[in-house]
Chains A and B, each alone.
Chain A
Amino acid sequence: MKIPMTEYLRINLETEKWECRVCDHEIAPAEGNYKEGLLVHNRDPREIHPPVIDPDKYKFTFSPDPEWVRILEFCCPSCGTQVETEYAIPGHPPLWDMQVDVAALKAQWAARGPAMLPDAGPSVVAGRAHTH
């Protein structure tokens, strides 16, 4: 069974690996940090959040200060899908953001069965939610 964990990542319970949901690339061991199997780019935040007012005239411009914060962009090495971003203080170690207890995940889904997999990704599925 393959459990969709984020928009672009899933855990294959049989192989115990993180996989890319876009291209099926095997990324990293599920017990570990999926970021270790991705590529990283250190992005100047001004490229994503452009200055609205003239940076030659003003100190604050609607753009983040690149000396104070960077955007770490994590992408799949196979298909280039941007899996995650992290707004990071320069030099701050990237976070191990999802540390999964794989044994517990296996047990949880063994009890649920594949019929309960979110079939349309993250959507709220009629009839699945608690109702009164």
Chain B
Amino acid sequence: MKDMNTTAPSLEEMNLIKKFLDDTTLFLGPDPEIMQNHDLMPRTQDEDAAIAKVSDNHIVAKIRDRLQSGCDEGFEMVEQMGAAPGAKWGDVITGVYSASGDLAIASAGGVLIFSALVHHPIKFIIKNWINEPTVGVKDGDGFIHNDSRYGNVHNTDQSMILPIFHDSKLLCWVASTVHEGENGAIEPGGMPSMAESPSDEGLKMSPFKVVENYQIKRDVLTFLQNSVREPKLQYEDMKVKLFACLRIKQRIEETLKSDGPDALVSTLRLTMEDVRAEVKRRISEWPDMTVRSYIIQDSTLRENCVVKINCKLTKTGDRLIFDFRGSSPEFTNRATNTIVAGLKGMLSQVFLCYVWPDLPRGQAAFAPIEVITDPHSIVDCSYDAPNSQSLMSIFTGFTAGQHAVAKFLYSCPEKFTKVHAPTFNMINTFIWGGVSQHGETLGNLCADLNGMGAGATSDRDGEHALAPIFATMADIGEQELNEEEVPFLQLVSKKMTRDAIAPGKYRGGQGYSMMVSTKDSEQWGFMTTAEGAKIPPLQGLFGGYACGTYPLCKVKDVDVYDVLMNEPEKFRHSIEEIMNEQPFEDAKYSTHHMGMGFEISKRGELFMISQGAGAGYGDLLERDPVNVVKDIEEGLMSAEVAARLYKVVFDPKTLAIDFEATEQARDEERKARIARSTPYAEFIKGWNQPKPPAHLPYFGCWGDDIDTLYMGAPDITRRADEPRPNYMMHPKDVRIAELEARLTAAGVAGDEKQ
């Protein structure tokens, strides 16, 4: 008999243990082996054989272009036919994946991160369903998926995944993903900030079969429709995604007919390998250096607090390593956490959208780049943490990466884009829901989230309200068309918000104001899900400034439609005028952070927000005075602010510039800077503190000590490698406690029984 204490199990025993575990697996949750790996799968024997037969660069390029066109065609179909508002503005993507599940080619337009994460659910299907007798993977099957923990940004995005067979052999996969919006979560619209656990986040579709023989299974469809607020949208978009996949399949089959399966398999594999090799070559051209940055989230969307996204980017030779250790611990009952794959997907967008947009869009461009995180942190959350507002963490993670990367690129002789200050990164828009003027139950959002201001570049101002950081070619939709379907108007739309600026030698592109008001429904409301009302969510670049901050403004106890009908002269067309002049008597005017939970609105109340500006680049005293005056003329900046900040001297009536006086004013300001500033060594003696300030609820590391994470107060910490729950009180309970304390202090609560 073996000594159980000293002898390791034999191979036979190990196999027996493995079989036992396989046979008795009770739940196929997200697989860490799949979810932690973003690199390409190893080359298969089939791929080796195909490459041995076909590897001519011209053939590969021809087929790649053909598949790219097929993906673009699928993308166009979804965009034109999709019912979800997201589909109509380009929050969509299609892609072709290798037999092993790697994304080889994605459509040129759309949200790359969607497809960059679909390799995870495909690999789950390959690992678990192909040989599972109760499921299987056959020609004509289609799989649906949305649960981010199995590979997705957030559960509002749904994918349709089809295997492509040739002569009964699985050759590749195609998939289409759309930001669908509604998913039956605790709040309408699919991105609940009120979610305190994954169970509040609505539909949680692990990858499962929903299509057989190219037909959507009606029983499963009905269950899905019954689980969301928009049953018709659910059906329509499942069909649209299925038919987009079938169109790509058709293009693949045409390729198979003309060039054969080896050419296809070889093209997919070589495209990925070539991109991966090229990325390593490009990285090797960067200087060997470590760049540090951090971005602050100033809320959890439920309460204001200071949440650090810590980023150290190190390049050595052809290795590039993102180190996000020291970032905030995950929040046990707040939705702003992300799975690490989401962070990686967003970082891949830094490169494919802003650094190397010439590379074929696929998984390979980020494959060789390494990412280090603390498990159970806000950028690498656990299975049990809600993540429906993961955008808050992946977008601030993106910005930390974008900010750090710019400092590597400046000295590179070979550039593929211009050096770029961070683009605005928050989805300042209205999510809406309720019953429409047509009696439809709806839940979705305004496409204005796609109007993020661009960061300035090394030789140009950032463009206004250009594009979201997750989709450089998305649209912001036609408001008039939207208003046919929803019971509210944007009374002011696309008007630039004056003085909400990011100054610099080149200024950031600015954002525009939105004022919405419900009109034809008594059952309609809004929510907003953005950070950055107390601390800007960006950093400036090379002496430029970040954006300012952006609040939510409300005007209640007013019906602006009555005002417009009876006293139209009282209406104002900017947030500045309405809030400062308070033109509607007896109305209540208030400001809030941008994390408004779903709130029912009454007819004629105003909800007002602004898109944000991208960051500025360079010393603002170097800005061409002509461009400063142009900004005044275009209503981007008031004359007073322009003169004070940029030190441009001009005639207040004609705006004629006095160049000589401007030069003199700027020289004086440079001298004044020197006079008011302190040498670094002296400065940090007074500035540096050993711990976060007591007045701030601070989360994350402080300084360089990434092993200690603060959890809301200077005396509450945990080690980075020892996860602990991190609960936040309900903001209403916090408020009640404050008020009760005041009652107690005033001596009027003493007789209440406890």
Using a CB–CB cutoff of 8 Å, the interface residues on chain A facing chain B are 3-8, 35-42, 45, 48-50, 52-54, 57-65, 67-69, 71, 73-75, 77, 79-87, 89-101, 104-105, 108, 112, 116-118, 121-125, 128-130
Q: What residues of A have a CB within 8 angstroms of the CB of B695 in the complex?
A: 67
Q: Is the CB of A7 within 8 A of B458?
A: yes
Shortest beta-carbon distance, A56 to chain B, in Å?
Answer: 10
Sample of 14 further A-B pairs with CB below 8 A, known A80-B674, A87-B539: A5-B410, A36-B680, A39-B677, A40-B679, A45-B536, A62-B550, A64-B548, A67-B695, A68-B534, A69-B296, A80-B669, A87-B296, A91-B693, A96-B292
CA gap between A86 and B704 in the complex, in Å:
16
Shortest beta-carbon distance, A63 to chain B, in Å?
Answer: 6
Q: Is the CB of B306 within 8 A of A40?
A: no
Q: Is the CB of B549 within 8 A of A60?
A: yes
Using a CB–CB cutoff of 8 Å, the interface residues on chain B facing chain A are 278, 287-294, 296, 298, 306, 308, 316, 358, 407, 409-419, 458-459, 497-501, 503, 505, 533-536, 538-540, 542-553, 575-576, 579-580, 589-593, 610, 617-621, 641, 645, 669-671, 673-674, 676-681, 683-684, 687-689, 691-693, 695-696, 698, 702-704
Q: What residues of A have a CB within 8 angstroms of the CB of B683 in the complex?
A: 39-40, 42
CA gap between A65 and B419 in the complex, in Å:
29
Shortest beta-carbon distance, B638 to chain A, in Å?
Answer: 8
Secondary structure at the A interface, as helix, strand, loop or mixed, is loop
Partner of B358, one of A73, A80, A97, A130: A130
Partner of A124, one of B417, B641, B679: B417
Shortest beta-carbon distance, A58 to chain B, in Å?
Answer: 4
Q: Is the CB of A65 within 8 A of B677?
A: no
Contact sample, A vs B, 10 pairs, CB 8 Å cutoff: A62-B499, A62-B548, A67-B695, A82-B621, A85-B539, A87-B538, A98-B291, A101-B316, A105-B287, A122-B410
CA gap between A79 and B44 in the complex, in Å:
60
Q: Is the CB of A108 within 8 A of B287?
A: yes
Shortest beta-carbon distance, A100 to chain B, in Å?
Answer: 5
Q: Is the CB of A36 within 8 A of B292?
A: no
Q: What residues of B have a CB within 8 angstroms of the CB of A93 in the complex?
A: 684, 687-688, 703-704
CA gap between A84 and B593 in the complex, in Å:
29
Q: Is the CB of B550 within 8 A of A105?
A: no
Q: Is the CB of A71 within 8 A of B545?
A: yes
Q: What residues of A have a CB within 8 angstroms of the CB of B407 in the complex?
A: 5-6, 97-98
Q: Is the CB of A87 within 8 A of B591?
A: no
Q: Is the CB of A129 within 8 A of B619?
A: no
List the A residue with the shortest CB-CB distance to B289: A100
Residue with the highest number of chain A CB atoms closer than 10 Å, among B536, B543, B592: B543
Partner of A5, one of B411, B459, B593, B641: B411
Q: Is the CB of B543 within 8 A of A90?
A: no
Q: Is the CB of A40 within 8 A of B535?
A: no
Shortest beta-carbon distance, A64 to chain B, in Å?
Answer: 5
Q: If A5-B410, A122-B418 touch, does A50 touch B539 (CB 8 Å cutoff)?
A: no
Partner of B458, one of A38, A41, A97, A123: A123
Q: If A60-B592, A85-B539 touch, does A92 touch B680 (CB 8 Å cutoff)?
A: no
Q: What residues of B have a CB within 8 angstroms of the CB of A79 in the complex?
A: 670
Q: Is the CB of A64 within 8 A of B535?
A: yes
CA gap between A104 and B319 in the complex, in Å:
14
Shortest beta-carbon distance, A96 to chain B, in Å?
Answer: 6
